[in-house]
Structure 1
């Protein structure tokens, strides 16, 4: 069983005005969340973190580009995508 892909899709820019400026425009994670994502080793925790990021994206909006890019990056690296990540 392969490792679960991190929610990061490699854009990593924090340029929005207001409170959304603390969130990456690519994946919606904050800088502290990006550090947490790198440290998750257990599968259930990594999948839970991806679910948290998806809920955060749904609350913030403007992240329709994320799921297809996330799946593409995971397939390219040979990593697993949680079943709940839909295109």
Structure 2
């Protein structure tokens, strides 16, 4: 026996807000377009990505800690208005 299983391993990422590890599918990928943080729900936009839980609590923590500057390795602050709207919309759809 080799110790391997037939089940595929689910990749994990760390939320830049709460710093908890979670399955990549449970987190929202964020990329930097110009000076703006943009949600990448399909995961296909080019560039370095940061992951956050689709919850306002984690988003607020990430903004307050300046986590996006570190994750993108770029000088901030970044505009996160579009990101906040996307997280609020995702929260409304999951609550329904």
Point out the structure with the larger strand share: 2
Point out the structure with the larger helix share: 1
Structure exhibiting the larger radius of gyration computed from Cα positions: 2
What is the TM-score normalised by the length of structure 1? 0.36
Q: Which has the bigger relative contact order, CA under 8 A and spacing at least 6? A: 1
What is the TM-score normalised by the length of structure 2? 0.33
